[in-house]
A and B are shown apart, each in its own frame.
Chain A
Amino acid sequence: DAKTTQPNSMESNEEEPVHLPCNHSTISGTDYIHWYRQLPSQGPEYVIHGLTSNVNNRMASLAIAEDRKSSTLILHRATLRDAAVYYCILRGFAPGGTSYGKLTFGQGTILTVHP
């Protein structure tokens, strides 16, 4: 899987938007951009994924640059419960292929949310 680069840490205030960047300059055309987060003392949880277009779900939004070399996870109103390590992961996947779903985690971004 191609490599991603994220800032080590970011801080936000409660109820403010948070933009978490991820650089993936070597992304290939079939790589999906996935975001997972890991809350303290819990296992990672899936947040969102996208390929080319911006994506929204109940947890967050994903903005993907036109050249796909970077993306941004957007939390529209941060809460204290959003304090976690956020991982940006590229997943190469071909329908009917033999990928076994190996997730290669980078160091991630530690998000601190202040009340």
Chain B
Amino acid sequence: DTEVTQTPKHLVMGMTNKKSLKCEQHMGHRAMYWYKQKAKKPPELMFVYSYEKLSINESVPSRFSPECPNSSLLNLHLHALQPEDSALYLCASRFSGTSTDTQYFGPGTRLTVL
């Protein structure tokens, strides 16, 4: 199984809602990532988890709250978002080889904040 799954595929929420994005992988990868991608722009890193611990937070606003309950699962909790947070949210996991590494991406959750 070389797949990263993300749910939901689409999400529409109001600025006062609380919602969560879910990401799952069963490849045994111990590093997982959240990226944000605005339309016609490249993905930008938000968070990195390594061995279920938050390793990198790229100065993301606190209305985005990541969680890694176990080695296969990554969540992104959303609260009080702004319309400018509308974007494609991508999850990835990382395979580390002996010399370099590669990342496997999920299809993303397209978020619209009204």
Contacts and interface: CB of A to CB of B under 8 A. Distances in A.
A49 to B, nearest CB: 6
What size tier do the contact residues of chain A reach? 20 to 34
Interface stretch (B13-21, B64-72, B79-87, B94-102): B94-102
A101 B42 contact: no
Given A101-B31, A102-B48, A43 B100 contact: no
SS class, residues of chain B in contact with chain A: strand
Contacts, number: 64
Interface stretch (A18-26, A64-72, A75-83, A87-95): A87-95
Interface residues of B, number: 26
Interface string B40-53: 00111100101000
A102 B100 contact: no
Given A100-B48, A101-B48, A43 B92 contact: yes
A101 B102 CA distance: 8
Q: Identify the interface centre among B56, B94, B100: most chain A CB within 10 Å of its CB.
A: B100
A36 B100 CA distance: 14
A44 B105 contact: yes
A49 B99 CA distance: 11
B50 A100 contact: yes
30 contacts: A32-B100, A34-B102, A41-B107, A43-B90, A43-B92, A43-B105, A43-B107, A43-B108, A44-B43, A44-B90, A44-B92, A44-B103, A44-B105, A45-B104, A46-B102, A46-B103, A51-B99, A87-B42, A91-B101, A95-B99, A100-B48, A101-B94, A103-B43, A103-B45, A103-B103, A104-B45, A105-B42, A105-B43, A106-B42, A108-B42
Interface of B: 4, 31, 33, 42-45, 48, 50, 55-56, 90, 92, 94, 96, 98-108
